[in-house]
Amino acid sequence: MSVVVEMPNQKSPAQQIAADLMRKARIAQEAFAEADQARVDEAVRAVAWSLYKPEHAKELAELAVQDTGLGNVPDKIIKKQRKTFGTLRDLLRVKSVGEIERDDKRGIVKFAKPIGVVGIVTPSTNPGATPVNKTMMAIKGRNAVIVAPSPLGYRTTGLTVEYMRKALAQIGLPEDLVQILPSPVTKDTTQALMEAVDLVVVTGSQDNVRRAYSSGTPAIGVGAGNVPVIIDETANLDDAAKKICASKTFDNATSCSSENSVVIVDAVYDKAIEALKRAGGYLVDPSKKANVVNELWKNGKLNRHLIARDMPVLVKGFGLPEEAAKSKFLMVEETGIGRGYPLSGEKLALVLTVYRASDFKAAKETIRKILDFQGKGHSMGLHTTNMARARELAEELPVVRVLINFAHTFGNGGGFDSGLEFTLTMGCGSWQKNSISENLNYRHFLNITHLVTPIPEDKPSEEALFGPHWAKYGK
């Protein structure tokens, strides 16, 4: 009789790396899981300061631009400090330990519990800010974190993680609450991490988002941006132009919340173009439009040598007049939308596509077509003094966020004059197959226990519930 010997499952090298990190993360998280709210908030402050600290913010911004070539140092410093400061403000105002909510009428009390170990996949566009932003939220929930960085931004993310670990150790907490995949990061090691953790949160490539959702682990991913905004005939044109310029040019348009198209109603089209020029825009001559398209996209993909670059690089790459280099962003007029018109999509560059619409109704339909092509679910904007139009857009268009009279980049991911939570991760809902339709925030890093006690019976009569149906259709 033959004997079958079962061999233990052999881990692949990638799975072994993930397992080793998970073992250390579990030990650290279990030690942190019983922390009270004061201790948790102390940890969140420490992590925040590790990036907000001026010399760290500057060092990491310089390293990011040096390694990735994306964005610019001054804006990356601002982004790191602004997002960190705003997120810290949000987190210190809420409870995440013990009882966090009570509804005596319904007899329900809610208690927050940790999720465990969170895998964080981060992009090359924000290799310093995104890891800290998500770690702050995860730590608020008493979780441990393992970061899977973009290979292009590995040095920046690695140093960022090192600073966070030192900050935790300084206040007497396990530094293994924050870890990073070892270099070189591969699809295999990232996949193994996704499968091993208790929650995976992905910002970056849609390939990573799809992998996360199919990993078997609860996942939060985001969709592609392609923000269109309307300028209507009631708008303060100079105010709108200044805000669009500030938002479009921030960190050389690396943000998914950066305006990609502006739709201007005919009644103020020429005046709006002049306002945009005064704000720093340069209107590309129609004869040069093909240059922009052919150079910004190569083989159907955005040209990495031109995205998120300074204006002189774009002007040289597109073969534009020298005077264009003195501007802050380029405007290219377009009429088409869809695959055959790449300017209608996300550009990640200092290029703003301009559409003319006969009236507000036509502008709304142009926005709808742009979103149907790319960016559905993400967000859009409107510059107006007619608030009825704002409500109309919010009721009708397939986006999670409609921003009114904002510099879009500074309101969409949270702002000091915006009620949205500070974040670097914007959910796009089922429109982009995302599991959330709001800004990522601390609540997504909590398990919630519901304590339920008896309440007076709340049982309406059959007549109350079925009466309208009976009256119209009979029993």
Which residue is associated with the tokens 């149907």?
A: 372
In the chain, ranges of CATH 3.40.605.10 domains: 13-222+439-451
Is residue 8 very low, low, confident or very high in pLDDT (cuts 50, 70, 90)?
A: low
CATH number of 13-222+439-451: 3.40.605.10
- Predicted TM-score of the model (pTM): 0.93
Predicted confidence (pLDDT) per residue in 61-88, tens digit: 999 999 999 999 999 999 999 999 999 9
Is residue 40 very low, low, confident or very high in pLDDT (cuts 50, 70, 90)?
A: very high
Task: Assess contact for 96 and 40: CB atoms under 8 A.
Answer: yes
Q: What is the C-alpha to C-alpha distance for residues 153 and 213, in angstroms, rounded to an integer?
A: 23
Average pLDDT for residues 271-282, to the nearest whole number? 98
Q: What is the C-alpha to C-alpha distance for residues 82 and 210, in angstroms, rounded to an integer?
A: 30
CATH topology for 227-413? Answer: Aldehyde Dehydrogenase; Chain A, domain 2 (3.40.309)
Predicted confidence (pLDDT) per residue in 209-245, tens digit: 999 999 999 999 988 999 999 999 999 999 999 999 9
Q: Which residues contact 352 (CB under 8 A, 6 or more apart)?
A: 244, 248, 259, 260, 261, 262, 276, 281, 329, 330, 331, 332
Task: Assess contact for 276 and 244: CB atoms under 8 A.
Answer: yes
Q: Which residues contact 302 (CB under 8 A, 6 or more apart)?
A: 296, 347, 348, 349
Higher pLDDT, 53 or 209: 53
Q: What is the C-alpha to C-alpha distance for residues 24 and 11, in angstroms, rounded to an integer?
A: 17
Q: Calculate the alpha carbon distances from 39 to 35, 127, 171, 173, 392 in Å.
A: 6, 27, 9, 10, 45
Is residue 302 very low, low, confident or very high in pLDDT (cuts 50, 70, 90)?
A: very high
Predicted confidence (pLDDT) per residue in 138-161, tens digit: 999 999 999 999 999 999 999 999
Task: Assess contact for 316 and 309: CB atoms under 8 A.
Answer: no
Tokens in use for 413?
Answer: 């991911």
| In the predicted structure, residue 306 carries a pLDDT above the cut 60 | yes
Q: Which of 168, 199, 256, 352 is flagged as catalytic?
A: 256
N- to C-terminal Cα separation, the chain: 71
Predicted confidence (pLDDT) per residue in 351-398, tens digit: 999 999 999 999 999 999 999 999 999 999 999 999 999 999 999 999
In the chain, ranges of CATH 3.40.309.10 domains: 227-413
Q: What is the pLDDT of residue 208?
A: 87
Average pLDDT for residues 295-315, to the nearest whole number? 95
CA atoms within 13 A on the CB side of 205: 11
Does residue 245 have an active-site annotation?
Answer: no
Predicted confidence (pLDDT) per residue in 401-442, tens digit: 999 999 999 999 999 999 999 999 999 999 999 999 999 999
